[in-house]
Amino acid sequence: MYAEDVVSRLRELYPSGYFHINKDPFYLLISTVLSQRTRDEVTIPTTQKLFSVFGTVQEMAEGDVDEIQELIRNVGFYRVKAQRIIDISRIILLDYNGIVPDSMDELLKLPGVGRKTANCVLGYGFEQDVIAVDTHVHRISNRMGLVETSEPDETEKELEKVLSKEDWKDINGLMVLFGQNVCRPVGPKCDECIMDDICPKFI
């Protein structure tokens, strides 16, 4: 199948997959919130900086919004995200006994958490078979002809139909790497692409 061929080539290109520094669900949750509208090279050190000061759910819930803003000011919409991080932490502390919920329905109740963020937590943090669709996954899946969709939520549903379930939680990381390095939104490196013999762009 075409989808299996695409995934196989991505795994060959990135055998180590997508490296997450920390797979703790709370760390992943906050990191993914910070990553919204922000590049990985900014998100990763900013998350590390934040957790070096506020290392637990309780510390984050009791954190001063101005101090958190200062720590995360390099990310986009840092003022909104600072308050959101405090609100999320308080809800987890008070409603979930300090433990990040491991279900989509419960995660979506948290402020600022959509399906992509929830699926990142469920896939990387809880090892669940889910597909986290970010801009890279949405763009590449459509560009490669795996799906024909206009919205990320549609892409998630359509990818579930064409990908083997064992590939669901890995496809995000593989396509993020591919999208950052080769299949870029502007100026894709088609001349270096391992998909050149199967990509619709070349056929």
- Report yes or no: 93 and 63 within 8 Å, Cβ to Cβ: no
Terminal-to-terminal C-alpha distance of the chain: 17
Tokens representing residue 124 in the block: 């990387």
In which residue are the tokens 């939520």 written? 153
Of residues 150, 120, 119, 171, the one with CA closest to residue 3: 171
Please say whether the beta carbons of 112 and 158 come within 8 A.
Answer: no
185, two tokens:
């939104």
| 120 assigned binding-site residue | no
CA distance 1 to 50: 44
Q: Per the annotation, where are the binding residues for [4Fe-4S] cluster? A: 183, 190, 193, 199
| Binding site feature residues | 183, 190, 193, 199
